[in-house]
Structure 1
């Protein structure tokens, strides 16, 4: 399946600031072509690429005051090979994290999903979150956690993913957060999903039911949204004046999915 992804960010830097972007596709996503540029008037910045243990690619440089244009475009030429998962990773993804407080939802999870395990448990958690949270753009905050979302019953994709992850970890299933490009997503944006580790492999859970999981393109992987932010900065103020994200399956490749994603079948990010 050939997919095309783009991201455009217009920023206003108020001072010299250390910038870190996570908008490029992760390793080992196979790319036909890729272009990432950081421009400020006639100046073109060269970023340092840092690859973390999960294959997320971070691009870092020191930006100077003024408007900054960030442009990314890539063609994904096929599926990525699944990576190996270490014992350390599974331990890490069982622990509570900033936005996924599995220790705080432990009692609820154990009461609600008692007797369930494996894929049956994953499906039950996904269905519960899909039914109990309402997708409400603009109402959740960047500091909202799984506990907040369970209390308010509203959120966006990151919030759905956090609740799924927290409940699965509370039931002793390793779970992690993935930031993705999602062809066909409506409304289009960077998308977040959860992944559950069952029977030696990672499977996608999108409780929003908004994406076609079969066409997702991985950007970053981590414990929760804190590890996968598309932009983080230190040492100054940054204003985001424009953000445009797009992703689509190449219609000329003739390999678009023939049916809708039922969100029941087992799917891995390809």
Structure 2
């Protein structure tokens, strides 16, 4: 299964700014073709690529004042085998983090999911978040956390992911945040899901149930959204004038029929 992903961002830089983007497919993704450009009129920037310990690719450069056009497109092949996870990573994803405060939801998690473990626990947490949170674009803030989402009962994909992560960590299951391209997502945007570590393997959880987990393309992985922002900047101001994200499964001559994602089975996102 090949997937085609694109991202277009138009920004207005008010000053000389240090820019860091995370919009490309992650390091271990089987990319067939890929194009990434940062242009400002006749000027084309060549970023420094930084790859973190999870394989997330960061592209950094200093942009000058004016209009900046960011364009990315890639064709991605079938998913590869996941890379090994170190003991340090597993421990890191057990700890509370800025947006996934597992220590603050500990008591509720222990009461609600008492006696559950493994795949049964993951399914129970997924069902709870899917039922307790309403998907409400435009009503949540970038500073909202798992605790906020639990209190308000509303949010977008990042909020669903943070709550899943916090509850799983409270139940001693390593859990992490993943930004991705999601073919079929409606409304289309950069998407966020959670991953749970069971028996040496990471399994993807999407409590929004808005996209088929088997078609996702990994962009960035971290403790929470703070590690996976598609854009961060330092030293000046900017305006994001336009953003367009798209992702779809490439048509084939003879597509094999597949059942819809049931969102309960264990699925890997490599």
Quickly name the TM-score band, shorter chain normalised: over 0.9
CA deviations 1:72-127 (Å, max 9, x no partner) are: 00000221220100000000000000000000000000011000011100000000
> SS of the residue aligned with 1:251?
coil
Residue equivalent to 1:260:
260
Matches within 5 A, 1:1-270: 1-252=1-252, 254-255=254-255, 258-270=258-270
**TM-score normalized by the length of structure 1:** 0.98
Q: Equivalents in 1 of 2:238, 2:226: separation in Å?
A: 18
1:255–1:60 Cα change, 3 Å: farther
CA deviations 1:159-210 (Å, max 9, x no partner) are: 0000000000000000000000000111100000000001110001000000
1:88–1:253 Cα change, 3 Å: farther
1:222–1:253 Cα change, 3 Å: farther
Q: Equivalents in 2 of 1:122, 1:128: separation in Å?
A: 10
Contact 1:2–1:255, Cα closer than 8 Å, also in 2 = no
CA deviations 1:136-168 (Å, max 9, x no partner) are: 000000000000000000000000000000000
In structure 2, list runs of 5 or more residues that go unmatched: none
1:250–1:93 Cα change, 3 Å: same
Aligned-residue offset at 1:27: 1.1
Aligned-residue offset at 1:256: 6.2
Give the number of equivalent residue pairs: 270
Q: Single out whichever of 78-87 and 240-249 deviates more from structure 2.
A: 78-87
Q: Equivalents in 2 of 1:141, 1:79: separation in Å?
A: 32
Contact 1:249–1:256, Cα closer than 8 Å, also in 2 = no
Q: Equivalents in 2 of 1:128, 1:138: separation in Å?
A: 22
> SS of the residue aligned with 2:265?
coil
Aligned-residue offset at 1:13: 0.3
What is the aligned-residue RMSD (CA, Å)?
0.9
> SS of the residue aligned with 1:220?
strand
> SS of the residue aligned with 1:25?
coil
CA deviations 1:216-239 (Å, max 9, x no partner) are: 000000000000000000000011
In structure 1, list runs of 5 or more residues that go unmatched: none
